[in-house]
């Protein structure tokens, strides 16, 4: 079973305003020819099986869709006739042939009316029930349920009660490579088993990312935001520029992307914007110029959410370029409700970086949006002793942090063993590498301290 909201959505949105859906919501496709949802389904062996599509069509007309498997059309116009209401769900089934291993299944609207609302697809016996993972704890007890809209107060990240808090969580890997690790089961595990507060959604711009399919990747980020929101976690939307290192090279793309993200999600209280991943090869003044152009684009739509600003030297306050935190404290960005980001890898970054984090956080608000327990490549031996020194400092100063990375990449910094995604299990430690065991333990213990008075 694959929930519609876990697929790649183009020209549509994940919603939850009609009753009767399973999972965390359903996909409402735009009224447009070509709007689609796509899933990756893994088959243990090649063969023929049934594909059942649960849907609702509250209109008075058929909303046909083309069904393709691995790029081959298997039904050019599968009928999705009216179901009587948008809350009345029905099944449409057909027979498909799958390859052994991963298969790409896509359903695409063939008329200007778009498709029906889509709830899930099921492979196997048509209509067979599939368990839906719980998204408990209840909203009132989640990080967002307790803390609400965040803001910067002084040098700290504060909750709706004006009390400083520390968020702890994970970052995805690049969605173009490891999107299969970001699904309903893995997000539920992150929220309920790992007890994470936040997920950083890392959307690369180059390297096969956003620039290759702006519409598709933007829609994917929309979908993940909705899933994270349903689980009561905070969502960091990461504009993951890396090469070229000058964020101004992608300024036009960033403006387009963040204008839409902010407009769509401006009424949510759990969104943070990470607007430049790791600027490198350029001065702080160049990076600052980018920030002061992108911040107004977000603020035109979203006046309240915290904006996280990447720093020079690959997010090191300039330390990796022979500079330091004084570049920022002497020339801060002219904006409010902002924090500056810091990245470190404990296997490579020793006392100079630790001291920079301490010094910088005495002068301006800091959020560690990426770190690893190994070397700067995200691979190699773990240095848990040095990592603990960083975590102790961040706990003392209530500096929020996000670990890289929540995937099954082959490198030591990916928390899951290779082959874990997309099926898991994502709970417990049986599929975790040593870094994953260590990070999961440090997210879970000690428990969150979210003061409300």
* C-beta neighbour count of 388 within 10 angstroms: 14
340 vs 206: CA distance, rounded Å: 23
Cβ atoms of residues 206 and 176 within 8 Å = no
- Of 141, 168, 144, 164, which Cα lies nearest the Cα of 154? 164
Could you tell me the strand order of the sheet in which 8-10 lies?
A: 8-10, 36-43, 101-109, 65-69, 72-78
39 vs 3: CA distance, rounded Å: 9
The structure tokens 């990426």 sit at: 370
Catalytic residue positions?
278, 370
Which neighbouring-strand residues pair with 340? Answer: 309, 366
| φ and ψ of 84, to 5 deg | 100, -25
- Of 4, 43, 56, 20, which Cα lies nearest the Cα of 124? 43
Cβ atoms of residues 41 and 6 within 8 Å = no
Cβ atoms of residues 171 and 402 within 8 Å = yes
């Amino acid at each position: 079973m694959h929930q519609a909201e876990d697929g790649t959505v183009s020209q549509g949105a994940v919603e939850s305003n009609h009753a009767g859906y399973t999972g965390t919501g359903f996909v409402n496709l735009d009224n447009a020819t070509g709007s689609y949802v796509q899933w990756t389904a893994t088959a243990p062996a090649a063969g023929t099986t049934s594909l059942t599509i649960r849907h609702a069509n509250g209109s008075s007309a058929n909303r046909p869709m083309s069904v393709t498997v691995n790029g081959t059309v298997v039904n050019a116009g599968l009928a999705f006739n009216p179901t009587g209401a948008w809350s009345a769900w029905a099944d449409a089934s057909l027979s498909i042939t799958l390859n052994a291993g991963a298969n790409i299944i896509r359903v695409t609207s063939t008329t200007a009316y778009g498709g029906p609302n889509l709830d899930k697809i099921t492979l196997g016996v048509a209509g067979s029930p599939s368990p839906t993972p719980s998204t408990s704890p209840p909203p009132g007890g989640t990080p967002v349920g307790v803390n609400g809209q965040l803001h910067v107060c002084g040098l700290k990240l504060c909750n709706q009660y004006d009390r400083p808090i520390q968020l702890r969580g994970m970052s995805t890997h690049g969605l173009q490579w490891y999107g299969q690790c970001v699904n309903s089961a893995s997000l539920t595990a992150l929220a309920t088993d790992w007890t994470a507060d936040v997920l950083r959604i890392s959307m690369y711009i180059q390297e096969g990312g956003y620039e290759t399919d702006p519409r598709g990747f933007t829609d994917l980020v929309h979908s993940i935001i909705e899933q994270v929101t349903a689980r009561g976690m905070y969502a960091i939307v990461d504009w993951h520029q890396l090469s070229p290192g000058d964020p101004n090279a992608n300024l036009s793309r960033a403006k387009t992307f963040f204008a839409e993200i902010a407009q769509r999600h401006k009424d949510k209280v759990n969104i943070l914007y990470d607007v430049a991943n790791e600027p490198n090869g350029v001065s702080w003044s160049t990076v600052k110029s980018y920030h002061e152009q992108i911040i107004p684009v977000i603020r035109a739509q979203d006046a309240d959410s915290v904006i996280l600003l990447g720093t020079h030297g690959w997010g090191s306050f300039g330390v990796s370029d022979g500079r330091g935190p004084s570049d920022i404290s002497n020339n801060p960005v002219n904006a409010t409700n902002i924090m500056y980001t810091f990245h470190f890898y404990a296997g490579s970054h020793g006392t100079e970086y630790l001291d920079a984090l301490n010094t910088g956080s005495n002068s301006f608000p800091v959020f560690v949006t990426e770190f690893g327990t190994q070397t700067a490549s995200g691979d190699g031996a773990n240095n848990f002793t040095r990592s603990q020194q960083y975590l102790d400092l961040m706990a003392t100063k209530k500096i929020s942090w996000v670990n890289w990375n929540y995937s099954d990449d082959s490198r030591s910094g990916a928390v899951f063993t290779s082959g874990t995604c997309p099926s898991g299990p994502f709970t417990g430690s049986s599929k975790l590498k040593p870094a994953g065991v260590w990070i999961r333990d440090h997210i879970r213990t000690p428990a969150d301290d979210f003061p409300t008075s």
